[in-house]
Chain A
Amino acid sequence: GAGVSQSPSNKVTEKGKDVELRCDPISGHTALYWYRQSLGQGLEFLIYFQGNSAPDKSGLPSDRFSAERTGGSVSTLTIQRTQQEDSAVYLCASSYGTGQFDTQYFGPGTRLTVL
């Protein structure tokens, strides 16, 4: 079946612009996660959705970052007034449930470059 998809695959933007990154989870997966992978850093958790609700936004680095999920499916991560330090690969994952053994399946990521 289809895996997690993300778009765009690459995004180059100028400092100060807003960007939107999209994630389509695996059909039937109720949980959706956003992570960020910066050069030389491990993956860091940003936010988690259960259905359309975000019980844990603790990883969002600043108030310029926001995310929403509609219809229990597609999610959008928005970064306002982008800065160069926002350059990273943004990865989305989904899982059937949120138990510790519910495998998180990752999408291919969006590579964001802020000039």
Chain B
Amino acid sequence: RKEVEQDPGPFNVPEGATVAFNCTYSNSASQSFFWYRQDCRKEPKLLMSVYSSGNEDGRFTAQLNRASQYISLLIRDSKLSDSATYLCVVIRSSYKLIFGSGTRLLVRP
């Protein structure tokens, strides 16, 4: 079993839709949580950190449920430019990023 699991998708949604991704992690010692975005044939870029209290950045909302060991990302009012692969990332030690395989999002006109 992978340490970080994600539904690979693709999620195919129309512009303006709301879409949510979940991610589960197996190691309860995981300390920090992030969502990265990766465009096709590009490097991953940090989208947002995920805090226990939940956090929001514009159209993006991230939630962490430590008891159930899952992380979510909600995207409201989807734009064409949101089409990408979204990588769930956890940190166990202070520096080693553990990546999920990613969830692919396609936003259609």
Do these two chains really belong together in a complex? yes
Give the complex CA separation of A85 and B4 in angstroms.
23
Q: A43-B44, A106-B44, A107-B43 are in contact. Are A100 and B91 (CB under 8 A)?
A: yes
Shortest distance in angstroms between B10's beta carbon and chain A's nearest beta carbon? Answer: 14
CB of B52 to closest CB in A, whole Å: 14
The answer to whether A106 and B99 have CB atoms under 8 Å apart is: no
In the complex, which residues 77-115 of chain A have their Cβ closer than 8 Å to any Cβ of chain B?
Answer: 91, 95, 98-109
Interface size on A, as a range, is 20 to 34
For A91, give its contact among B32, B43, B94 (CB under 8 Å).
B43
Q: Report Cα–Cα, A109/B44, bound state, in Å.
A: 10
Contacting pair A100 B32 (CB below 8 A):
yes
| A interface residues, Cβ below 8 angstroms from B | 31, 33, 35, 40-45, 48, 56, 91, 95, 98-109
